[in-house]
Amino acid sequence: MTAKIIAVVNQKGGSGKTTVSMQLAGAIARRGNKVLVVDADPQGTATRWAASAEDDAPFPASVVGLSAASGKVHREVKKLIDDYDCIIIDCPPAADSPVPQSALLIADLALVPIIPSPLDMWAAVGIRQVIQNVSDINETLQARLMMNQCQPNTTLAQETLEVLPEFGIVLAQTQLRHRQVYRQAAVFGQTVHSLGSKASAAVEEIEKLTDEVLDILRMKK
Ligand SMILES: Nc1ncnc2c1ncn2[C@@H]1O[C@H](COP(=O)(O)OP(=O)(O)OP(=O)(O)O)[C@@H](O)[C@H]1O
Ligand SMILES: [Mg+2]
């Protein structure tokens, strides 16, 4: 097997990179794939997330900390590519970090979670530039902007959607709403799938995101 690689990137802190990395990794693993999350962030949030799981219900994907590899993370990931169906790289937020660029060099898909507000859109301009630069080298790199923490019918979200065409990255069809269960899943070291009926709407949107991402990567659903 040769893993498909997703780099979850945005220089803006708190946009949902780790949440999307872990929920997506868990959901892809639950469909029978061997999935690895590469925690490329020195904050170690993804690593702590998986470590919070109970021994009798481990997180469904493996997590490895590779933040020390810094701008050479693509070399380390390359060594693992034959061992997994899918590798998701959770990148750090810092604008001056060499990690996102390195991760994008070997990625099939750049996934950019963004909170729909003008401030967050402006802050994401930096990562758009990085994606464009890397695309000259990694010509098959695809990219999707993904709205996270959406609060429907707010004017801010609508204004954000209006400026999107100028932004230059295709918008993912799936959006994630602001929901408490996303925070709770992190506390329990699980995906929303483990939280019972109160999480059913969140499970539905994560499954939809999973379908969309597997389609883009041409992986079996
Ligand atoms: N859709 C959502 N609904 C509710 N809370 C969310 C949602 N997505 C993320 N959060 C919460 O927002 C916070 C930031 O999310 P997360 O850690 O995933 O962002 P990040 O981009 O990885 O942050 P950093 O840049 O620090 O790595 C966390 O407390 C997380 O639980
Ligand atoms: Mg994070």
User: How many independent structural domains does the chain possess?
Assistant: 1
> Which atom from ligand 1 is nearest to the alpha carbon of 10?
21
CATH classification of the domain holding 33 = 3.40.50.300
Q: How many CB atoms lie within 10 A of CB 221?
A: 11
Confidence of residue 139 (pLDDT cuts 50, 70, 90): very high
Q: Is residue 156 one of the residues assigned to a domain?
A: yes
Q: Is residue 67 one of the residues assigned to a domain?
A: yes
Proximal ligand: closest to the CA of 97: 1
- pLDDT tens by residue, 146-187: 999 998 777 766 777 777 777 789 999 999 999 999 999 999
Write the residue with the smallest CA distance to atom 31 of ligand 1: 183
- pLDDT tens by residue, 41-92: 999 999 999 999 999 999 999 999 999 999 999 999 999 999 999 999 999 9
Q: What integer pLDDT is reported at residue 160 of this predicted model?
A: 73
Pairwise CA distance, residues 127 & 112, whole Å: 8
Write the residue with the smallest CA distance to atom 29 of ligand 1: 183
Q: Is residue 219 one of the residues assigned to a domain?
A: no
93 Cα–ligand 2 center, Å: 7
Q: Is residue 18 one of the residues assigned to a domain?
A: yes
Alpha carbons within 13 angstroms on the beta-carbon side of residue 58 total 7
Pairwise CA distance, residues 2 & 43, whole Å: 28
Of 32, 22, 5, 7, the residue nearest 59 (C-alpha): 22
Best residue among 182, 191, 192, 204 to mutate for probing ligand 1's pocket (most ligand atoms within 8 Å of CB) is 182
Confidence of residue 99 (pLDDT cuts 50, 70, 90): very high
What range does the domain containing 29 cover?
4-213
Q: Is residue 82 one of the residues assigned to a domain?
A: yes
Q: Is residue 164 one of the residues assigned to a domain?
A: yes
Q: Is residue 106 one of the residues assigned to a domain?
A: yes
Confidence of residue 11 (pLDDT cuts 50, 70, 90): very high
